[in-house]
Amino acid sequence: MNRFSVRARLTLWNVGIVALILITLGIGVRTIVHTSLMTGIDRELTERAERIRDDSSRRIRFEKGQFIWLGRPRGDKEPRKYPIDGTPPKEEDKKPNATPDDSPRPTSGPPSPTPPPDAFAPRLLTRNGDPVGFFRSPAWDKGSLEASSRTHKIVLKYVIADEERYRIVTVPVKVKTDGKTFTPDTEPAFVQLAFRLTDIDRGLSALDNALLTLLPLSLLVSGLGGAWLTGRALRPVREITLATDRIAAESLSGRLPVSGNDEFSELSRRFNQMLERLESAFERQRRFVADASHELRTPLAIVTANTSLALDDETTTTPEGSRRAFLAIHGAAGRMSRIVGDLLLLAQSDSGILPRENRPVPIASVLQTATEEAQAAYRERTGQSGATIMPPEPTTAVVENADRHFLVRVFVNLIDNALRYTPQDGCIALTIEVDNGSLHILVADTGSGIAPEHLPRLFDRFYRADAGRDRGRGGTGLGLAIVQTLVHSHNGIVTIDSEPGRGTVVSVTLPTK
């Protein structure tokens, strides 16, 4: 897979999101501008139409092709006439001393029959769309006349004339022209005002072109910038990839560089922690294989030597010679069997498939059985009774959900270790303490003790504080590892406290529930 695929996907996502934002923003801006412009035009058209409609019965006349506003200048008693396009006269046109001849008039020459289409010039029409009076311009839209006739309300509509768009407003009015009066109740007349939208459309078209030009340019800049930023952001990933390529199973001591406090730095720290665990696991595995091979080599050598002796030596032809050879082979086979059995138990525990029972077990009975088995094994191995073992005080304490066989094996191993390193005149004390739903079982001896530097590794497999003494005494180096494994399977804790010359105390804590 292309190692830049993540970079490409992130860049595409970035461009897609930016495109969505820009398109949404462009549509929004275009809509707001269009709505704002059209709202202003509609408002102006509507205000002019309402002004014509409201004042048509009193102050507006249609004379000689134009609407006349009958305004009353301030201080005058008689109204004056002002030509209008749908707006009231300006204040400067209302001169207090003006005469009728001073009134503003249209430009010289005959009035144009068609008002400028981009002005708010009115058109007076009948319901059928025919022009009224001297105004010869036809209706902008006859459908608006019919709608306004039915509702007697102002009607706004878009129309297209001469390939240009217009916004028109239609309003019913009461108006007098050439002696004839038009009213909505008898013979209605309508005024239509129009505004040419050519300039508006050109402005909106320019805005559309600008948006369509800026959109691809923005996406191009966004894509290039996103690719560059994504490349910088993913640079630690490439460094991690190169570093991991250099770290193989044979060189797990290597570590990733860690700089900063971002997510990639945290990933590097976690990866280094994993490497430390892997390195430790590989080291334990190598040590375990070496120790297991060393432990099995001795009994295998004994078996090989005795079988060779039995085959080649004439002394084995006697019953006594054969017995000695078979006893040696039997002892070596038994030692190998114990080692293999211990390794199998540890392997089952590591795999999480350690079979065990779950039933209430009295702890006093466990300690009694363990003491008897440990003493019997010690006598069989050495021919001596060993140190004195002081039993615990009688108790009815019970370990719930326990496996009796496993607990017996735990304390057999602990008592056996105490017997190995405690002199004949020494003492081994067993103590049971109950505290807040937990049992504390102590195995304390008066032996030689253990140096502090050995304590952290006592539970390692095949580890010996004295590399040669356990093998000479029949140990396999797996006893304390099995103790820890079985105690942990009961959700318990085992600790060792020891000082050279003062003995050793092993504490096992087990939950009672």
What is the reported pLDDT for 342? 76
Backbone angles phi, psi at 410, to 5 degrees: -55, -50
- The DSSP symbol for 115 reads -
Cβ contacts of residue 287 below 8 Å, gap of 6+? Answer: 460, 461, 462
Q: Quick one: average pLDDT of 401-409?
A: 92
How far apart are alpha carbons 209 and 400 in whole angstroms?
A: 82
Domain positions in the chain: 23-203, 263-339, 356-511
Q: Quick one: average pLDDT of 473-480?
A: 71
What is the reported pLDDT for 53? 73
Backbone angles phi, psi at 119, to 5 degrees: -100, 165
How far apart are alpha carbons 73 and 80 in whole angstroms?
A: 7
pLDDT higher for 399 or 114? 399
How far apart are alpha carbons 259 and 58 in whole angstroms?
A: 87
| Among 498, 473, 457, 342, CA closest to 465 | 457
Question: Out of 1.10.260, 1.10.3470, 1.10.287, 1.20.120, which CATH number does the structure's domain 263-339 have?
Answer: 1.10.287
How far apart are alpha carbons 116 and 110 in whole angstroms?
A: 15
Poorest-confidence range of 92-96, 207-211, 217-221? 92-96
Maximum Cα–Cα distance across the chain: 164
Please determine, for residue 402, whether its predicted confidence score (pLDDT) is greater than 50: yes
When pLDDT is cut at 50, 70 and 90, the band that residue 204 belongs to is: very high
Poorest-confidence range of 132-136, 148-152, 427-431? 132-136
How far apart are alpha carbons 392 and 402 in whole angstroms?
A: 20
Q: Which pTM was predicted?
A: 0.48
- The sign of the CA dihedral 313, 319, 325, 329 is positive
Q: Quick one: average pLDDT of 333-338?
A: 78
When pLDDT is cut at 50, 70 and 90, the band that residue 119 belongs to is: very low
SS3 of 366-397: the string is HHHHHHHHHHHHHHHHHCCCCCEEECCCCCCC
Q: Quick one: average pLDDT of 482-504?
A: 92
Task: Please report how the helices 479-489 and 404-421 are oriented relative to each other, as an axis angle in degrees rounded to 10.
Answer: 150
- On average, the pLDDT of the chain sits at 78
When pLDDT is cut at 50, 70 and 90, the band that residue 292 belongs to is: confident
Tokens 């878009």 belong to 158
pLDDT tens digits, one per residue of 160-183: 877 888 888 888 877 666 566 666
pLDDT tens digits, one per residue of 259-289: 778 777 888 888 888 888 888 877 777 777 7
Tell me the CATH number for domain 356-511: 3.30.565.10
Cβ contacts of residue 494 below 8 Å, gap of 6+? Answer: 459, 483, 484, 487, 506, 507, 508, 509
How far apart are alpha carbons 104 and 82 in whole angstroms?
A: 6
Q: Quick one: average pLDDT of 340-362?
A: 82
Please determine, for residue 497, whether its predicted confidence score (pLDDT) is greater than 60: yes
When pLDDT is cut at 50, 70 and 90, the band that residue 205 belongs to is: very high
Cβ contacts of residue 347 below 8 Å, gap of 6+? Answer: none
When pLDDT is cut at 50, 70 and 90, the band that residue 85 belongs to is: very low
Measure CA 74 to chain center: 76
Q: Quick one: average pLDDT of 21-40?
A: 93
